[in-house]
Chain A
């Protein structure tokens, strides 16, 4: 048995002239969380759709637990769990009926299914709402049930496509903790997100995807080394401030590695924040712009993305 639960080879998806995923190569060791990090429209969901046999690759292949997604879709489907970005539940059915239906679709039945349903309802903290219709649930509760459906048949590899989009902080915290629990139990997870903090907290390794291409991958330490020991400074300006002009002026300063705009923020990477900060404030003052707040961050995945693309992750 290979140490890798997933390995892709030049995976590509083409729609006419548009290339959604362009020859992506990456692998996930068993029992690890791999985060696919990238802005909206980068190709994360298309990649997951190909890996879960929803879309046929235009070229290339991927092997999951040794089975090709192109040649052996049925075997692949029996070892994966899929948690789609959009909730895929039946609102007019209860949580229990939803789990029972999806369990049957995954080939489960009888006492095994009943036991697993009870276990998962406890896990996602919905046991007391098991018989309530999903339409009465909050967004966070629906997200948790959506995840429970993907875990029903104890898959070897779970695809979680932006599972925390649009929910309250408490539910988000619960989901992140659950992903870590699953990893601790030996399950492999492919997690897509455009939240850098989530990728940093969960991942054993990270792939950064942009415009359909995997532009970097490795452990978080490996990625941080790509930008060197750079600090990130976030300078927040008034709403009408010409942030693009300010960013251009900051770029001209010595020791500024990169400068980019993120809304009313100008994000600057520098070797040593404390040394450069006075110069940045002087430029702002000369431009008659007031700096409302400043955040200083150690090197992180945001800086890596900025370094590689020249853009902030959420631009």
Chain B
């Protein structure tokens, strides 16, 4: 472990003594975030955090009660400054408004929304299908992500209620008190009470007063993590290429003449890339908090996401270096992957394509960005656990493949 740590710390020290690397790792994300912040109006001195009055249309066709509750959430006082609910005129009209960039999103609640979410009285199961459609404006990615976060939080709490129904039914059946005739009403009550039991979303809309301004949603809370994660891919590529550079410069060979195993060397290199990634994103998070006043949200969640994102990105950096033969190839492939991951993960703009969004799930950027957005909107560590889990799973799979490639490389 001593040797692994020594290699890792040595690599960390080398990166932080490389002016070019520092420029791209730290300065570039700050400057781009700053530029995007100005473009988005985040720095305007109007008491506004940069995003407010997001125009949304909701078409509620639900024959049950749940659709109405979702509409109530959007119209609630808590979200009054953040969301502006546009009167519902019709689906075609709503789509036109989105296409014309008049509104950020159209939320279509289908007729069977409640049936899809609440278990059936005879089978105890919910119907299958897409519960909601959100028709998004591609030119308002930040606004759309806020709308999605509100819907996602609502659905998540309804899901919790559904689980509660299942547990309650099991208990009633076991005790012999189950009354199928009253089941539907009971299930609706349980789900409804669960969705009303706690604030539907932890967004603290900016009230414009000096005391409360700090708690407001800041558009930079989405831009800054996006840039940090985008440039994290640069850092891990640089780290991966350091293995090939050490081979070219003879230091890898020299290490192999010491009583240090190939796995210790690889472990040390992984440690170095990981530590550098954590340091980079950590500095960007702390720096952007101090410089731009960004509220990243729950710090346990932030730390969990930084560590997990750095781990997943490290595995990608290793895979790139393992697949390439020369440093030049690593740089070329790494840049291509960095740009591709940035594009398909929604770092630059919201992708309104389900297929591309699905592919985006292979990127650490998407999972981490979603997590940071949740935290920025006031959600907790528990809410980002799925994102953290996905990043660890990604790290395990990609690292296994990379390790196989490197075993042959180090023994060559």
Contacts and interface: CB of A to CB of B under 8 A. Distances in A.
Contacts of A89: 251
Interface string A284-312: 00000000000000000000000000000
Interface stretch (B73-81, B121-129, B253-261): B253-261
Given A54-B257, A77-B257, A88-B254, A104 B14 contact: no
A101 interface: yes
B80 to A, nearest CB: 55
B2 A53 contact: no
A105 B253 contact: no
A93 interface: yes
A53 B250 CA distance: 14
A82 interface: yes
Contacts of B255: 105
Residue picked from A77, A97, A101, A105, most chain B C-beta under 10 Å: A105
B253 A74 contact: no
A286 B368 CA distance: 87
A105 B14 contact: no
A184 interface: no
Interface string B229-263: 00000000000000000000111011111111000
Given A74-B259, A88-B249, A93 B10 contact: yes
B17 A104 contact: no
A88 B251 contact: yes
Interface in A94-128: 97, 101-102, 104-107, 109
B13 A82 contact: no
B174 interface: no
A101 B10 contact: yes
Given A92-B18, A93-B13, A82 B2 contact: no
B13 A97 contact: yes
Contacts of A90: 10, 14, 251
Nearest to B250: A88
Given A97-B13, A105-B3, A52 B259 contact: no
Contacts of B13: 92-93, 97
A78 B260 CA distance: 10
B91 interface: no
Interface string B6-18: 1000100110011
A89 B249 CA distance: 8
Contacts of B256: 53-54
A93 B14 contact: yes
Interface string A79-92: 01010101111101
B158 to A, nearest CB: 55
Nearest to B265: A105
B276 to A, nearest CB: 14
Contacts of B3: 104-105
Given A92-B14, A93-B13, A104 B6 contact: yes
Nearest to B260: A105
A109 B13 CA distance: 19
B254 A102 contact: yes
B22 to A, nearest CB: 12
Contact of B250 (A84, A97, A102, A106): A84
Nearest to B261: A74
Interface in A230-270: none
A80 B10 contact: no
Nearest to B249: A88
A82 B3 CA distance: 18
A74 B17 CA distance: 33
A4 B84 CA distance: 88
A54 B262 CA distance: 12
B379 to A, nearest CB: 42
Contacts of A74: 259
Nearest to B411: A56
A93 to B, nearest CB: 7
14 contacts: A54-B256, A54-B257, A77-B258, A84-B250, A84-B253, A88-B249, A88-B250, A88-B253, A92-B13, A93-B14, A97-B13, A104-B3, A104-B6, A109-B2
- Nearest first, the 5 A-B pairs at minimum CB distance are A88-B250, A88-B254, A82-B257, A105-B258, A104-B6
Interface of B: 2-3, 6, 10, 13-14, 17-18, 249-251, 253-260
Interface of A: 52-54, 74, 77-78, 80, 82, 84, 86-90, 92-93, 97, 101-102, 104-107, 109, 133, 149
Given A92-B13, A133-B17, 12 more contacts: A77-B258, A84-B250, A84-B253, A84-B254, A86-B249, A87-B250, A89-B251, A90-B14, A90-B251, A105-B255, A106-B258, A106-B259
